[in-house]
Structure 1
């Protein structure tokens, strides 16, 4: 069977696929010409045949292409085509496209810019009130102390507790500028798991942030699951428990008792609790946390 026509188009055109499928259903053959857009469509022989790729069925064109005209008129007179397209009248003369004339747009006249009026410059710093200074802690007004608390924290963190850190502490402790406090949890009978007791200590320390500049502490969990307690010692600036400590949310759950550092038993107990070893009131060490 000879081809019923030839298609000139770029490769893989989906519209061409539709044509080929329709031809296959009707057992017809359509030839696909080798064609390169931008090159073959500009050749003289192509332009002469396809009139610069414009298919216009005017009277002159129809006279030179009777087969195409017959095919076209057959289609447009089919009931399905007529239902969609209505009656179609073929043109006698092709309509030439005439581009519209460009209208010149008048440039809007620029209005004279008004000179900005002079504005009095106001010194914002003078207008705004200076922020109120943050209230200082009462502890900052205490007489200077020979004990450098920050230095003590560094010594404790970077050296063995026994004997280096403990020896440094007693050599530099200032009983007039600082006091030592025994701390015990009030509700030891309610404690269960060791890790939960340790979390209680961590929560208390988190709420003591305001006191970090003025205090050092060690609290430990003694015992085992379902039979443990919390105890330890704090070193605090001044001779009273300051607001920075007693204002913490968990403070009421602990007792703070000032101790005499010259008492040998107190001194020994203090050392055990910051070293996390020794007698520890005869109980087994389970866990501990340092506030520094």
Structure 2
């Protein structure tokens, strides 16, 4: 396995010696994985490599097998669960985007976390004004034609991803998990989505970017993990490896299951 230079500081999330077994199938085997503050980490691997199991472990859906540990900001967490991960600021943006297409942008931005007035009513004016500010400051929408009352279904795929990412950052996500966010998007929409992903780093937050398309992952990440058959086959600092070299190593892993 090729090991990259370790970033300084304490990881936001760290998995130590994590394995996960389902019946007789071992989906993860002794995985060490970490994401540092302000870092975007790419997660690559063929189907069946263990990417989904690893990410679902980070999200709290799966508890590690005995012997595995999960650490958050330097503290070992024993009661790991979806609720615990959410409380600690881990937000997931799925490829289907998890937006209500028939609702306006402002509804989607605050869904499930709506502010209320002192009388206990929904503070619609605040949600609309905050959505307008977020759309301008974080999503780059300056046209008067794009308004918080626009229905999400009228937006492009890239713009929808922007709503989901901006929503996560607004609610102080420490770690954003992006599950194949460019699937089904056009070239223009993909570029817009990748710009939004870069904005996560600009905001000082961290992200895990899972995708099959290395041409989408490579430009926006700082480090890359390559998984193969439940194990970490390689870790690379982007500055230490070119895209062409990385592609060759991925081909080699797919053929042999090893980087040696």
Identify the TM-score tier after normalising by the shorter chain: under 0.3
TM-score, normalisation: structure 1: 0.21
Greater helix content: 1
Q: Greater Rg, structure 1 or structure 2? A: 1
Greater strand content: 2
Flag the structure with more relative contact order, 1 or 2, with Cα contacts below 8 A and sequence separation at least 6.
2
TM-score, normalisation: structure 2: 0.22
